[in-house]
Amino acid sequence: MVSSPESPIFVWIDAEGQGRYLRAYFRQSVTLTALPRSARLNLFADGRYQVRVNGTLIGNGPVRFYPEHPEYDGYDLLPWLTTGENVIAVEVLHTGIATFHTVLMRAGFAAWGDIVHADGQAQSLATPGAWLCREATGYDRTTPKFSFATGPIQIFDERKAVPGWYGPLTSTEGWRTPVALRDNSGYGAFEPRSIPQLTQKLVSPQRLLSAHRHVDDEIIYSFRAWDFAAPGKHVAPQKLIFAYTYIYSAKAQKVQAAAYWGEHYLNGVLLKKGAETRLAAQDTVLKLNAGWNFLFISYGMWTSTWDFHLALPKNVGLVLSPSKKLDDREIFKVSLTIEKDDAFVKGLEPEKLTEPPAVPGGWSVREMPTAPVLPAKAMAWAKFGPPLPLRGEDVRNLSVPAGQPTSFIFDMGGEVLGRIFVDFEAPEGTIIDVGYAEELKDGRPWHYKNVQVHAGERHIAAGGESRLETFYPRGFRYLQVMVSGHTAPVALHELGVVSQIYPHKRRGWFRCSDPLFDQIWEAGWRTLLVCSEDVYTDCPWRERTLYAGDLLAEIATAMVTSGDTALAKRSMRLFIQSQSKETNWQQSMAPMERTRDSLFDYPLLNLVACEWFGRLTPDPAFIKEAYATYRILMQCCLEQRNANGLYSSFSQPFIDHTGIVKKGFSCPLNALVARSWHVFAALAESQGHKEEAAEAHRHGEAAAKAVRDHFWDAQAGAFVDCLVDGHPEGDHAPAASYWCVFFGVTTPEQDHDIVRHFEQRWALLEHEVEHFGTPYGAFYLIGALYKIGTPEAVAFAERFIRRQWGLMIYHGTDTIWEHFHTANSLAHAWSTAPNYYCSTRILGVHLGLPDTANPRGPLLIAPESETLTWAEGALPHEKGMIEVSWKIRGTHLDVTVRVPDGVAYTVVPRGRLAQYELCLNAE
């Protein structure tokens, strides 16, 4: 059988394709006496792959997928082929664990295609065919996940690697024919990749911030323990694990130490942890007796690994040995993980221990590693000496003297997303660690701003010239490169990232009389770029996950910047594909296992996005697919309707991170349900189902009435958060009211009262920066204010943008934050609402959200602003570019409009701008 899109032959280095962090090499050698007529290679892998031709990386993939809907990548090899021997080489990494990016399956690789030689003969490139394979050795398979959402970090010992695996071989020893997998069921029909390849642009640091030799006054003892029994769980079931050692001290003394999580008992006394004097380290004091002291540690594993670190000063003469040997390489003994309700755990009394207890499964040995086992911890705990006399422009060709551990701190100049690389020359055994963060703390990258993120990777050199390069992209601004363990000088030739983002092309732009708005708009565009991969992601740093709630705002920003529709469609389709046949509900993030604990509001927000997308761009096939799926989902939603006309939820809605009460019947969720029925009605009408559409409209009107009847508080002039046991509950969270406005359930009188209510609460922003919601919620707040459209509402929207996003601009970051404070991600595309509203409301080109106009029909250009004196810009349109400029000139409003041929439009200034005499210049 020859592999093809209809019948791909999945292969691996064995017949099972199972395990954690599986990494394999595949290669095929092709000899050409003349350049061929054509050469086409099609690839797919379950996890991720990189493909090289004659040593040059030409692409990576595949795009994220549900197994029932895989997309393959196709490559024209002609530009990369030469006469003589050619090597096609593919590296595949299968994490073998659950992430927020994949549905856990088996590892596998499939290829098909052919080379048509000059004489017309075809040479197959199908698997298994002439492919050879072998395990990619040298990679530590036990490393922890980078974060709860992603796969493991990369630790690579080049000394154990397969040298020159992607080039000509002098011997095929160790290589073998790939094995067809025993079971590769679960995959649907293959479709070609629906989006272009991601970028591969080299980005160098803009500045060297500092360089430091390390202060060598302490020893960091470390080890790793693991439990990989639950690879399908994002957070492993919490179990307990124990370790012990003896610490020898020649005299009784108090010793300052640094440790982190876990309960540490020294001679039966629980150690008290102090403040964090450095990143992810807490000070503690060891009160040591003369001779051997027993140290026992208990740790609750919340992930599948325990990376233990203990820093002790060098000059106090301590020795660690679990066997009480003064010359021991062994430093600890570690138990297996043990369930919390195990009899051993229940009977354990650590404060009474003077020697190790007998643990279930026995104790295993850990020897002293050559470096702290966790690269991020090694860099965070490294003690810096004074800054070295280097210049800021010294970002390449850096040298490190023999035997002097050194760290370099670089500023990329802004947020980047890409594969980190370091080209270097170093002696065998040299350790190159790279760490990265969005923010600095005490002058170095804040690796542990989130304690669940291990932002560091490692390369152990085989000797000579080499290259560290991460397989997965990382998002950050500040980069630390740490060199240690070297017995001869090290040269760092070049370093930076190879960008790996979606190739958006900027088409839209915006400028106005307030430069702050311009800066906010530009920062939003840069944020969208680093949150665009093979799907739209929440952020480039912590998760890189596609969320349905984030997607609506991200599509909105894309529509006014690049105008790209391919990535939006691919992201929405993943949610459509996520719908479970058992529960009839979609996931809140995708691709993920299909469970019923999805956030209830997120699938409905994707419905809103899908219907809006159908009005923005003609795509009948996509709308037909969306209708068929949402027809089932909305029937499932209807089952949640109660006798009072309100909808309950079988899972928690998100709404926003703020303190809105989400118990019982949720007000904003019911407003969204009401809008969802009208949106679904539009989909039904597009498919010719008029009676179904009319029924859906009736459901929508009934839901909207129920919201007004049960949640409106006339005295407060606002909606309450929720209804619990028939009684309103909550503090009139602003999100309840602005979701009701945005999704069209309010009356004009209610809109007026809501703006007045918001004005009364404005002063609270001085005390609680997110009283009105996060930047995510602000997409609905600002949209609601512009939808109300009164001068007071529009002025409030502009004031809100200036204050809340201005904080970010004045802080000096080049991207938009997850929150209106710096505690979390500093690049979050769900926060780019100002881009959309500056272009669609201030500039005035309406795109049909939150209103329901069809932007492909007569285009409404309705500029409005209560504080600006001029604005200009452009928006992408399916037929070309829409350009608008307006300026107040005395008693006149000068408006210039340029539209593509065939686009009908009307210009209707609103609010303050409507008071001026319109002078329209149509070009």
State whether the Cα torsion 786-788-791-795 is positive or negative: negative
Of the chain, the percentage scoring pLDDT greater than 70 comes to: 100
Cα 77 vs. chain centroid, distance in angstroms?
Answer: 32
Report, as an integer, the average pLDDT of 701-717.
98
Q: Exposure of 906 by Cβ count < 10 A (0-12 exposed, 13-18 middle, 19+ buried)?
A: exposed
C-alpha dihedral (554, 557, 562, 568), degrees to nearest 10: 30
User: What would the pLDDT profile of 879-921 be if each residue is shown by its tens digit?
Assistant: 999 999 999 999 999 999 999 999 999 999 999 999 999 999 9
Pairing of strands 665-666, 722-724: antiparallel
User: Is residue 876 within 8 Å of residue 562, measured between CB atoms?
Assistant: yes
User: What's the pLDDT tens digit per position in 70-121?
Assistant: 999 999 999 999 999 999 999 999 999 999 999 999 999 999 999 999 999 9
pLDDT at 67: 95
- The 3-state secondary structure of 64-126 reads CCCCCCCEEEEEECHHHCCCEEEEEEEEEEECCCCECCECCCCCEEEEEEEEECCCCCEEECC
Query: Tell me, what's the pLDDT at 2?
Result: 56
pLDDT digits (tens, 9 = 90+) for 623-640: 999 999 999 999 999 999
Q: Of all residues in the chain, what percent carry a pLDDT higher than 90?
A: 93
Q: Is 312 left (phi over 0), alpha (psi -120 to 50) or beta?
A: beta
Whether 265 has a pLDDT exceeding 70, the answer reads yes
Averaged pLDDT of the chain: 96
| pLDDT value at residue 1 | 46
Report the relative pairing of strands 406-426 and 207-214 from DSSP bridges. antiparallel
- Which DSSP string corresponds to 571-632? HHHHHHHT--TTT----SEES----S-S-SHHHHHHHHHHHHHHHHS--HHHHHHHHHHHHH
- pLDDT category at 789 given cuts 50, 70, 90 is very high
pLDDT digit string (tens) for 496-550?
999 999 999 999 999 999 999 999 999 999 999 999 999 999 999 999 999 999 9
Q: Calculate the CA dihedral of residues 398, 403, 405, 407 and round it to 10 degrees.
A: 0
Give the angle subtended at the CA of 877 by the CAs of 875 and 880, to the nearest 5°.
100
Write out the two tokens for 571. 């992201």
Question: What's the length of the chain?
Answer: 923
Both tokens of 453, joined, read 């993120």
Give me the DSSP letters along 225-283: EE--S-TT-SSPPPEEEEEEEEEEESS-EEEEEEE-SSEEEETTEEPPP---SBTTBEE
